[in-house]
Amino acid sequence: MCVLTVVVVAWLAFGIPVAWSRAQKARVKGIDIVLTDPSSRFLNAGDVADRIGIAPDTLTSMTMADFDLYGLEHRLRDCAEIQSVNANMLADGTLRVVVTPMVPVARVFDSNRSRSYYVNVDGKVIPAEIRYHIDVPVITGTFDSIHPASRLLPLLDYISGHPVARALVSSVNQEPGGNIIIVPSIVGHVINFGDTSLVDNKFRRLFSFYRTVSPTRGWEYYDTIAVRWRDRVVATRRDRRAVNIPLPTVEEQLGSLDEVDIATMTPSDTTTSLP
């Protein structure tokens, strides 16, 4: 036992540092590029190698200790086509680079720009090109520093993770001032969404309206369904002919609006004014 203890201590004291020193002086043997989505249209392994920018001869002349893994990751993350990257050095000297290509959640058509672009859940932007065509919801409208396209990310994140919402939403429009209008795949009306607060609650009210009100009133009875107000669904009737009452009132001017009772999801028979 004493001899064994002496051998273990000697190995810990001398063997491990020597082995570590030799490993650090060992040269890089090559590179292994792994794409988490090999079918991505944004880039392939060759594109990643080009963006790494290190010639094979130069790479194999570098030692494992001198290779800057952090700098490599930082450089690749700056590429528009790359969403995330993880680089590490294997024990055999192989540099492994695992890359997640850009995963867009929407295509943005900004009235202030001449070209459209894709955006991911982190707000990263990549210019839209023919070879990058992806079937995702479309965002149109006016975007500025106060109301940037990135403010719609909570809404887009919900849509991308909700199969029913993803199938429903055709495009999203941001009006000047920031009001959000959703154009659904169901033709005949639009959805006044307001802002990106209470996204889940707004969609639940909308789906409840579709299940209970639209089948009875008809899918083309309303041209606008508004869920922008808390705990309310306000629908604008397509036929906006004035209500036949004796004297003109504010209610007559707003007579094209139906407010739906959230508890029963039934439209009121009387008109209502909005706050």
Which CATH number goes with the domain that contains 71?
Answer: 3.10.20.310
**How many structural domains compose the chain?**
2
Task: Choose the final residue of a domain: 40, 68, 101.
Answer: 101
76 and 121 both lie in a single domain: no
Q: Which two tokens stand for residue 141?
A: 């409208």
Residues 220 and 249 reside in one and the same domain: yes
**Cβ pair 275, 255 in contact under 8 A:** no
**CATH code at 194?**
3.40.50.11690
Residues 6+ apart with CB under 8 A from 109: 116, 138, 139, 140, 141
In this structure, are 166 and 240 located in the same domain? Answer: yes
Could you tell me if 177 and 222 lie in one domain?
A: yes
Rounded to an integer, what distance in angstroms lies between the CA atom of residue 157 and that of residue 61? 44
Is 192 part of a structural domain of the chain?
yes
Same domain, 31 and 55: yes
- Going residue by residue through the chain (275 aa), what tens digit of pLDDT does each one get? 887 777 777 666 665 565 555 555 688 888 999 999 888 888 888 889 898 888 888 888 888 877 888 899 999 998 888 999 999 988 888 889 999 998 888 888 887 766 788 888 788 888 887 666 777 878 888 888 888 888 888 888 888 888 899 888 888 999 888 899 999 988 788 999 999 899 999 999 999 999 998 888 888 888 999 999 888 899 888 876 654 544 444 443 444 555 666 555 555 544 443 33
Residue 36 shares a structural domain with residue 164 = no
pTM of the model as a whole = 0.60
| Domain boundary, last residue among 73, 101, 129 | 101
Do 142 and 110 contact (CB within 8 A), yes or no? yes
Q: How far apart are the first and last CA of the chain?
A: 87
Question: Domain range spanning residue 28?
Answer: 24-101
Amino acid at 167: A
Q: Choose the final residue of a domain: 76, 101, 126.
A: 101
Same domain flag for 149 and 262: yes
